[in-house]
């Protein structure tokens, strides 16, 4: 009985399509290919027609906003698939019989599938919003503090400004000990006798070579300043702190001054972004007797990030969260470029 009803319905559609109407239904070979010989149209045929005739609109079902406190990352922009998109391809199984879009559209309408409807496709996606860099750098990979090495100081002669001293001499001189520290500056007798826990090979005659990065927690202008040196202290920032550092291209230096002379202060101002790692190198030298130096980093508002006597969380040897932001210094002490 169902088969008979289906056959009657099939031929009824054909008959109706052959009569005059306002639709775009034409009984032809394309329609025959879609209709087939079964009493009911296959669901796949109906789905293909809907995909072809109906407007498809892709919309976001859910937008998830995740707030992260982290170092800045570079976002990859893209276009979300939104708005109406109309399918234009004719299914391959009927492409030979349906030579163009008009013929296929007509055959689909003969099956009772009208155009001017919309299929909504819901796609869930996640939007990640990074609000600001961390207030202090991640040091979970044992990166807290600058690397520091100690050497003998062969430059024992001193004249004004200590021109005899050459910091680049220590690029290719192996130190006799290394460690890390996040406290900069030496002033007390205890600090001078055992700087950063080292035991100098010769009391009060040594050179310290610090290297690593300063992490800027805010976007502002920072002043890097070195002063009160006895006998010498100099520093470098940026790429020169890593490669090619010499006394001639240092960012600032301070050398011993007699009490009656004005102190020598070396400094540079850098406009840095929040979450940025700035390469930093400091070299201190003493040739005997009392020795000292002060190094500090302050912002335009006077807030101190590095100061004498205090451990600074902004001094690190490398970046843990994103190693490409601040990779470790690759050359060992004594083999530096």
Bridging pattern class, strands 232-237 and 276-287: antiparallel
Q: Are residues 59 and 208 in the same domain?
A: no
pTM, full prediction: 0.65
Of 97, 132, 167, which residue constitutes the final position of a domain?
132
pLDDT value at residue 290: 93
Query: 46 and 179 in one domain?
Result: no
In a shared domain, residues 183 and 275 = yes
Does some domain include residue 333?
Answer: no
Dihedral (Cα; 294, 300, 304, 306), 10-degree rounding: -50
Using DSSP's 3-state secondary structure scheme, residue 45 falls into helix
Same domain assignment for residues 254 and 126: no
Q: Are residues 257 and 152 in the same domain?
A: yes
Residue 37 inside a domain? The answer is yes
Considering the domain architecture, whether residues 97 and 172 belong to the same structural domain is answered as: no
Determine the pLDDT at residue 74: 39
140: in domain: no
Q: How far is CA 39 from CA 8, 12, 36, 74, 172, in A?
A: 8, 12, 9, 59, 90
The reported pLDDT for the residue numbered 166 is 98
| Same domain assignment for residues 119 and 206 | no
Is there a domain that residue 300 lies in? Answer: yes
Those residues whose C-beta lies under 8 Å from the C-beta of residue 113, and which sit 6 or more positions away, are 46, 49, 50, 53
Same domain, yes or no, for 82 and 125?
Answer: yes
Is residue 256 exposed (0-12), middle (13-18) or buried (19+ Cβ within 10 Å)?
A: buried
Residue 72 and residue 275 in contact, taking contact as beta carbons nearer than 8 Å: yes
Domains contained in the chain, number: 2
pLDDT at 63: 54
Q: What is the CATH number of the domain that holds 182?
A: 2.60.120.1560
Pair of tokens at residue 1: 């009985």
Does residue 112 belong to any structural domain of this protein?
A: yes
Q: Which domain holds residue 175?
A: 146-316
pLDDT value at residue 245: 98
* Judgement on whether residues 164 and 274 belong to the same structural domain of the protein: yes
DSSP, residue by residue, 253-267: EEE---TTSPPP-EE
What is the predicted pLDDT for the residue at 46? 85
The structure tokens 């276009």 sit at: 79
Same domain flag for 117 and 170:
no
Per-residue pLDDT in tens (0 to 9) along the chain, 337 residues: 444 444 444 445 444 444 444 456 778 889 888 887 767 778 888 888 888 878 777 666 555 555 555 544 333 444 444 444 444 688 888 888 898 888 888 888 888 887 767 766 655 555 655 545 789 999 999 999 999 999 999 999 999 999 999 999 999 999 999 999 999 999 999 999 999 999 999 999 999 999 999 999 999 999 999 999 999 999 999 999 999 999 999 999 999 999 889 989 999 999 999 999 999 999 999 999 999 999 999 999 999 999 998 999 999 999 999 999 999 999 999 999 9
Shared-domain flag, residues 127 and 47: yes
In a domain, 151, yes or no: yes
Where does a domain end: 132, 158, 190? 132
Q: What is each CA distance from 175 to 119, 157, 171, 189, 202, in whole angstroms?
A: 72, 21, 10, 23, 13
Q: How far apart are the first and last CA of the chain?
A: 93
In a domain, 115, yes or no: yes
DSSP-derived pairing of the beta strands 276-287 and 292-299:
unpaired
Give a yes or no: residue 49 inside a domain.
Answer: yes
User: Is the domain of 186 the same as that of 309?
Assistant: yes
């Amino acid at each position: 009985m169902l088969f008979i009803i289906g056959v009657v319905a099939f031929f009824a559609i054909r008959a109706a399509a052959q009569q005059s109407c306002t639709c775009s239904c034409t009984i032809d070979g394309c329609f025959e290919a879609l209709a087939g010989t079964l009493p009911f149209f296959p669901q796949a045929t109906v789905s293909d027609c809907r995909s072809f005739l109906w407007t498809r609109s892709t919309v976001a079902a859910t937008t998830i906003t995740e707030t992260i406190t982290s170092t800045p990352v570079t976002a990859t922009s893209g276009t979300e698939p939104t708005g109406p998109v109309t399918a234009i391809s004719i299914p391959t199984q009927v492409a030979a019989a349906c030579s163009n879009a008009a013929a296929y559209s007509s055959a689909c309408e003969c099956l009772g599938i009208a155009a001017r409807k919309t299929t909504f496709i819901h796609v869930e996606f996640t939007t990640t919003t990074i609000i600001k860099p961390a207030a202090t750098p991640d040091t979970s990979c044992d990166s807290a503090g600058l690397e520091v090495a100690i050497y003998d100081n062969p430059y024992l002669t001193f004249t004004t400004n200590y021109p005899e001293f050459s910091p680049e001499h220590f690029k290719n001189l192996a130190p006799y000990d290394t460690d890390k520290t996040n406290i900069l500056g030496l002033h007390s007798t205890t600090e001078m006798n055992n700087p950063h826990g080292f035991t100098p090979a010769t009391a009060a005659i040594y050179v310290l070579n610090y290297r690593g990065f300063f992490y800027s927690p805010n976007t502002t202008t920072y002043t890097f300043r070195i002063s009160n040196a006895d006998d010498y202290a100099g520093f470098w920032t940026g790429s020169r702190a890593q490669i090619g550092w010499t006394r001639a291209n240092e960012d600032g230096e301070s050398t011993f001054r007699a009490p009656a002379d004005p102190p020598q202060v070396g400094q540079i101002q850098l406009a840095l972004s929040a979450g940025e790692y700035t390469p930093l190198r400091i070299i201190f030298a003493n040739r005997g007797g009392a020795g000292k130096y002060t190094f500090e980093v302050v912002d335009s508002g006077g807030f101190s990030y590095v100061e004498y006597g205090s451990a600074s969380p902004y001094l690190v040897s490398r970046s843990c969260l994103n190693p490409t932001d601040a990779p470790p210094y690759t050359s060992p002490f004594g083999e530096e470029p």
